[in-house]
Structure 1
Amino acid sequence: MLRITTLIENSPGEHHGLKSEHGISFFIEKDGHKILFDSGQSGAFLSNAAKMNIDLSDLEHVVLSHGHYDHSGGFRSLCGIARDFTLWTGEGFFTPKYAFRNGAYDYLGNDFDESFLSGERISHSTLSVPLREILPGVFLLTNFPRIHPEEKINPRFFLLRDGEFVQDSFDDEVLLAVETGEGLAVLLGCSHPGMRTMLDAVRERLRRPVFAVLGGSHLVEVRGSGLEKSFEYLQNSDIHFVGVSHCTGNDAMERLSLSCPNFFRNVTGSSLFFGQPSAQSGAAGPGK
């Protein structure tokens, strides 16, 4: 059986004892294997996991989608309870990230570096190929060709490289895709390279349909034809579970709830279960 649980997200769910924050973290359990995708902005996801009876001490893999604080900020706290895992990041993950705002640069990057990993004896692998299977039926993808010209990265994002600020093209962005039996469940961090670009890469490289998509779509910053094409993409696709949230933005999620029949509000504490014998569709839907 496959279970995907949202350990933390911007919005609270029905379990009022769980903490929410601007960030995202998913726990994936597949056939006895345990994976963490992103760690929120703080260690709050750890207490949420404990309250949901989820043991993170024996994780096998940790994947950080990109080097922004709201996806990697809880990693230091995680290392206090687990360390016998492999950390996966994209190329350039540790290059300091900033946002330009009102004439100043705001730091948005990680609170740890490679020396921290060495000191904590954390196994670290950089995803340097477009596709890698890290466990049976569990895939990491990066290096997304920009095939949709409307999907533009906000120019406010910068890297500090060799003492100079340069535009961030988010070459470090990584997604996770896991086989459900009826297609792939795709986990997105923020989709800075473009949500459609990333999902099309999954279909092309794995030759499998996308059955579910969860995570950030960054539609909160998209306007005009790009936004309309993204709505059309989700509304007319064969994706059975559309749970984009986090940086999707409240306005976009409200519109999706009205126009996309397969959309559900993925919140802190939500779970999807796949492969249950009693589930006619192969997934039990968002459960708590």
Structure 2
Amino acid sequence: MIKVNLKITTLIENNPSINSKLHNEHGLSLYIEIDKTKILFDTGQSGDFIENAQLLKVDLSKLNYVLLSHGHYDHSGGFRKFVDKFKKPYKLILGKGFFNSKYKTTKEGNYKYIGNAFDEEFVNQNNIPIKYIEEDVAYITKDIMIFSNFEKYNDFESISKIFKIKQNDNYIPDNFHDEIVLGVKSDKGLIIILGCSHIGIVNILETIMERTNMPIYAVVGGTHLVGCDELRLNNTIKFLKEKHIKVLGLSHCTGENAMEEIKEQFGKKFVYNNTGNIIKI
């Protein structure tokens, strides 16, 4: 396996940076450089990641790809502002069903819209080519893969029942078929980059290892362990240990409780991937 130079800059995330000039918000946006390939992975909720990128000396005008991990506002909300500012060509990568009308149920029993602030027509009007990921594994270069259609491998991970899709006048459970995950081959193993892991991080990683027959070296991004019960957290930690994953750069929807437990269990393998953090592999 040829050595891959990979650098991940967290442009925005829930938690603030030590640099007080950087914005933070509930959301995620990563700038990923893989050799000569440049990818924007998610766009946060407001577009403030653009100002952060300038402060972090990240040039967003020369992207090869923009990948939106799923159709929730905190991952795609900044896309419209990004399109208005940057006109140079890139390919937009989305999962099938990305433009489904997504909601969540509130404590009061109401339905709150949490989907995208743009539609497919907006993308077409701005002449942005779209690649919808429908296959299990799609290659965008020989070393960069997109995964979708994740399998269920366990009983301790389940999609939260609060997430819904509106179809006509009905609200049905969201199975997150639109969720996609980035994978990068390296001489150390696979580097996996996640948006939110609604389907379950163990389900996602098991699916990827089954399909590629490769070990996972690093996991970066959101794991949706926020608010999870002790059984799910313990089983997730057990899985990550058994697979000998060497780098855990976790953030966003992982949740403070899970972050503290994983930090305690994994020590130097854990990276607190907050706003402004840089991971080099």
TM-score (norm 2): 0.94
Give the 5 Å matches for 1:69-88: 69-79=73-83, 80-88=85-93
| Structure 2: tracts of 5 or more residues without a match | none
Which residue in the other structure is 1:23 paired with?
Answer: 27
1:16, CA displacement in angstroms?
A: 2.0
Letter of the 1:266 counterpart:
N
Residue in structure 1 matched with residue 156 of structure 2 by the alignment: 150
Structure 2 partner of 1:121: 127
1:99 aligned residue: 104
CA distance in 2, matches of 1:170, 1:223: 21
Query: What is the identity percentage for the equivalent residue pairs of Structure 1 and Structure 2?
Result: 41
For 1:28, what is the secondary structure of its paired residue?
A: strand
Q: CA deviation at 1:149?
A: 1.7
Residue equivalent to 1:263: 270
CA drift of 1:162 comes to 2.7
Distance 1:164 1:125 in 2: 29
CA deviation map 1:60-89 (0-9, x unaligned):
111111000000001111112144111111
Amino acid at match of 2:98: F
Per-residue CA deviations over 1:190-244 (Å, capped at 9, x if unaligned) read 1011100101112121222111111111111321422220122234431111112
Aligned to 1:205: 211
DSSP-derived class of the 2:271 partner: coil
Q: Number of paired residues?
A: 274
Q: Secondary structure at the match of 1:54?
A: coil
Displaced runs of 4 or more, over 4 A: none
Query: Given that residues 83 and 122 in structure 1 are in contact (C-alpha distance below 8 angstroms), is that contact kept between their aligned partners in structure 2?
Result: no
| 8 Å CA contact 2:215, 2:243 repeated in 1 | no
The Cα of 1:179 is off from its aligned counterpart by 2.0
State the Cα distance separating 1:269 from its structure 2 match.
Answer: 1.0
The DSSP-based 3-state class of the residue aligned with 2:14 is: coil
Q: CA–CA distance in 2 between the matches of 1:146 and 1:162?
A: 28
Alignment of 1:1-288 (within 5 A): 1-79=5-83, 80-101=85-106, 102-261=108-267, 262-274=269-281
Separation in 1, partners of 2:58, 2:87: 13
Q: Secondary structure at the match of 1:221?
A: coil
SS at match of 1:148: coil
Distance 1:43 1:123 in 2: 21
Say if 1:124 and 1:83 are closer, same or farther in 2 by CA, change over 3 A: farther
Which deviations, in whole Å up to 9, do the C-alpha atoms of 1:136-167 show, x marking residues without a partner? 31110000011112111111110001331100
Shift of 1:42: 1.2
Unpaired segments ≥5 residues, structure 1: 275-288
Distance 2:130 2:208 in 1: 24
The CA distance in 2 between the partners of 1:181 and 1:231, in whole Å, is 24
Q: Distance in 2 between matches of 1:144 and 1:236?
A: 20
The one-letter code matched in structure 1 to 2:49 is F
Seen in structure 2, the aligned counterparts of structure 1 residues 172 and 130 have a Cα distance that, compared at 3 Å, is same
Counterparts of 2:147 and 2:72, CA distance in 1: 18
CA contact (8 A) 1:56 1:82 kept: no
**Match for 1:268: what amino acid?**
T
